[in-house]
A and B are shown apart, each in its own frame.
Chain A
Amino acid sequence: MSALIDSLATEARLPADDHAAIRRRAHKALLQHGFPDLKTEAWKYTSLRVLEKRAFSEQQAGASALPALPFAATLLHFDNGILNVDDLDLPAGVSLQPQTEEQLAAVDHGDRAGAFAWLNLARFEQAWHLQIEGHLEQPLVLAISTAADFQNDVHPRLLIELAAGARAELIEVHEDRGEGLVNIVQDAALGRAAFLRHLVSRQSAQSAWIQRSHVRVARDADYRFHTLDRGGRLTRHDLAVRLTESGAHAEVDGTVLVNDRQHVDFHTAIDHEVGHTNSRESFRILADGTGVGVFNGRIHIHRGADDSHSDLNTANLLLSESARINAKPELEIYAEEVTASHGATIGQLDDAALFYMRSRGIPADQASALLKQGFAAAPFENIESESIRDWLMGELAELV
């Protein structure tokens, strides 16, 4: 693991700015814990070998392309991971400032499993604080993209705050064409009765894509997360949702598609910290070629969080001889008057359904594509916005 420390986390690479003390502290914590390896429980199925072999460039890469979106949106372009603020036109109710020292210091990233978050705090280029008030008309799109010659490491950091009663759709479009490291740390807080639909559409090429999203949901607020992950050389997303006040609600839906030489690892954790909180989660992996999909979903109902309800479901398809899927749906429950359940399946396309379709004259290829598409699309069916739903379905149709 020292190879990674040398290439990513030498003291010489810490930016010199006003936050030097915080950066040094984070760096120290990182050195103390080290990067995770296969013996680290939370990283047991994901090896960092790909990263260890890489040398990261200091050279600026060329401009990355903007994603084409079929709906009107406010766009924030993180070109090779860096937000260009020059001609940013933000709608009313949205403001963007750099994070303050207090905001940076407020986060604790834990042990070895949180190594990349420490790395982010030690090395971030920009740390933004995005505030949202009222109802946003258009979705806010964070386009994080990299160019073909991107071989750098970049550490975007973002704090998103929704005021009480605010309502927004936040869409992250991650498009990678490079061969570097994108290491994102994201914290979000939903005020009372706020609503956030948070969507991540990701396609990564050779870059390692590591993201940590921590979300706090206050009283009667509603957080909906959706992801469509179309694979990458090494992708790891940790999503932690904390339901901190009664009435808080969270839904997490995701579809991951992996193919040859791709590895996607999704870790989600939903913490019911108080009673009368609800969550639902549904996650699907379709693994083809030599792809590896990992899903670890944890529901934690804390002591005293009585009358909480939670359901977690993961259904997975293994589509080739060499693909692999590892699933671990966990429940950790300390309260009474709760109902919590989880289900997990790993299997293949239903032969009977295929036969039925073929007997209706649909060629085998098309029949299996339709079945896969239907399977993969299920988590997006409850997205209200038709244009966003159509966009995702279109992306999916292209893939399968």
Chain B
Amino acid sequence: MNQTVEQVNQVIQQRYKAGFYTDIESDRVRAGLDEEIIAMISAKKEEPSWLLEWRLKAFHHWQTMREPNWAHLKVPAIDLQKIHYYAAPKQKNRPKSLDEVDPKLLETFDKLGVPLHERARLAGVAVDAVFDSVSVGTTFQKELKEAGVIFCSFSEAVKEHPELVREYLGSVVPFTDNYFAALNSAVFSDGSFVYIPANTRCPMELSTYFRINARDTGQFERTLIIAEPGSEVSYLEGCTAPMRDENQLHAAVVELVARKKAKIKYSTVQNWYPGDENGKGGIYNFVTKRGDCREDDARISWTQVETGSAITWKYPSCILRGDRSAGEFYSVALTHNHQQADTGTKMIHLGKDTTSKIISKGISAGHSNNSYRGLVRIAKRAENARNYTQCDSLLIGKTCGAHTFPYIESANSTAKVEHEATTSRIGEDQLFYCRARGLDEEDAVAMIVDGFCKEVFKELPMEFAVEAKALLEISLEGAVG
């Protein structure tokens, strides 16, 4: 009997392959959130005084705010005073190149399938790896520099390019935006910074890998991408965390600025630890992501595959300010066991002839709840704006929930907004057909789910699409039968 339990446990453990913990000495600040801690984080990062002031302003504003409760989520009380807001692997000096990075860290990222070392050259993707509160290394910096592209950690950007950071920080997501954005603005530790100069196509895919490792910490990173007129960039983001019984908080902010005719493509495969099959542990993922099509003909596209986190609260949005600017949102959100997700997008049409497209696929299994929440707002002067939204939900099992809450607001009579949504279960006839062809039930479900998500997967860069597909299959294990 005991052996069986063990075997089952092993299988479950296997399901979340990124659930290991790296034993590395870490330097962290005491738990708690106050002005002193914020000053401490700022000092550790050797920040200029304007940034500390900005952090403190955000903190004071945050103190006046309340946790949002409008989402279709049951969020247990989070004691923000018990969190260590800064944790970094101990090292004497910041490594100048990857060769100086602690081998243990490199090993961690190797294990996660994100090889940082030079051999990663073959993969042809530049990676910024963030471990707890700091960036441990960024690859291909030299090659990118030749093209004029800046891709570095946020802390480095503050030191090397303070004028850019100062100009754009908080210009898309001000610290007054919402509770978690304010919290992030006060305590953010690291993240990635990308700057693509005018008329430049970034020579390779850029990517950030976020890893939470230390116990009782949260991760509060900030990503800022600036695409100058006529530039183009594709950016990927991945994330994992060890398996723990306690919940950990992840509250990130991502800001994208696309200037005239610039294109930004932002893809995420979110695989934070989702908690065990009883809903114990897992990451609380409260993220504010927003792109600003600031000038004419700009284009921002969000693609996300959400399989992890105990709770997901995330609405990557586009502000379509420039005329003829375009926003896209492609999403697959899968929840299993006791996971909860309330995710979607906002498309704010301000400019003339702006277009947006939303394709959202929600899959719920186990005891999970999966909600799509989206806003399409057509402002008064958004002549001829156009939106198309499709959100489909798939239910697997009798105890899960799938919900759709689309908000559609139109104040311009020349605009066209279309929305359609369906909810259904995997058809018996589809399953029967697959099984008659010799597939077992689990494979059949995986195949049907893959087909259901195809529209979104085809938007992902190839390596990510393969990973996303595999992830979905693993996450669905045990969902049927």
Contact = CB atoms under 8 A, between A and B. Distances in A.
A344 B404 CA distance: 13
A371 to B, nearest CB: 14
Interface in B383-405: 393, 395, 397-405
Given A328-B405, A329-B421, A341-B420, A336 B410 contact: no
Contact of B408 (A320, A344, A348): A344
Contacts of B399: 303
A304 B398 CA distance: 7
Contact of A341 (B401, B410, B416, B422): B422
B417 A347 contact: yes
Interface string A345-381: 1111000000000000000000000000000000000
A340 B422 contact: yes
A340 B415 contact: no
Given A323-B413, A341-B421, 7 more contacts: A303-B398, A322-B380, A326-B410, A333-B401, A336-B398, A340-B422, A341-B423
A329 B419 contact: yes
Contact of A342 (B70, B402, B404, B416): B404
User: Nearest 9 CB-CB pairs, A to B?
Assistant: A318-B413, A344-B419, A331-B404, A341-B422, A346-B410, A346-B417, A340-B423, A327-B408, A334-B401
Interface of A: 41, 45, 303-304, 306, 316, 318-348
B467 interface: no
A343 B420 CA distance: 4
A277 to B, nearest CB: 15
Contacts of A347: 415-418
Contacts of A318: 410-413, 415
A342 B404 CA distance: 9
Interface string B220-232: 0000000000000
B432 interface: no
Nearest to A326: B409
Contacts of A346: 378, 408, 410, 415-417
A330 B407 CA distance: 9
A305 to B, nearest CB: 10
B414 interface: yes
A348 B413 contact: yes
Interface of B: 70, 72, 378, 380, 393, 395, 397-425
B399 to A, nearest CB: 7
B413 A332 contact: no
A333 B370 CA distance: 10
A336 B420 contact: no
Contacts of B420: 341-344
A345 B419 contact: yes
B360 to A, nearest CB: 12
Contacts of A319: 413
Contacts of A328: 405-408
A325 B406 CA distance: 14
Nearest to A330: B405
Contacts of B395: 333, 335-336, 338
Contacts of B393: 331, 333
Contacts of B411: 318, 323-324
Contacts of A327: 408-409
B419 A320 contact: no
21 contacts: A41-B70, A318-B410, A318-B412, A323-B411, A325-B409, A325-B410, A327-B408, A329-B406, A329-B419, A331-B402, A332-B401, A334-B400, A335-B395, A336-B395, A338-B425, A339-B422, A341-B422, A341-B423, A344-B406, A345-B417, A347-B415
Contacts of B424: 338-340
Contact of B402 (A45, A333, A341, A343): A333
A134 B416 CA distance: 48
B404 A324 contact: no
B78 to A, nearest CB: 22
Contact of A336 (B378, B422, B425): B425
Contacts of A335: 395, 398
A339 to B, nearest CB: 5
A343 B419 CA distance: 5
Interface hub of B70, B378, B404 (most chain A Cβ within 10 A)? B404
Contacts of A322: 380
Nearest to A334: B401
Nearest to B411: A324
Contacts of B416: 345-348
A306 B406 contact: no
A345 B421 contact: no
Contacts of A323: 411, 413
Given A318-B415, A339-B424, A331 B403 contact: yes
Contacts of B402: 331, 333
A316 B416 CA distance: 10
Nearest to A345: B418
Given A336-B397, A345-B417, A345-B419, A326 B425 contact: no
B404 to A, nearest CB: 4
A22 to B, nearest CB: 31
Contact of A326 (B404, B408, B415): B408
Interface hub of B397, B406, B409, B413 (most chain A Cβ within 10 A)? B413
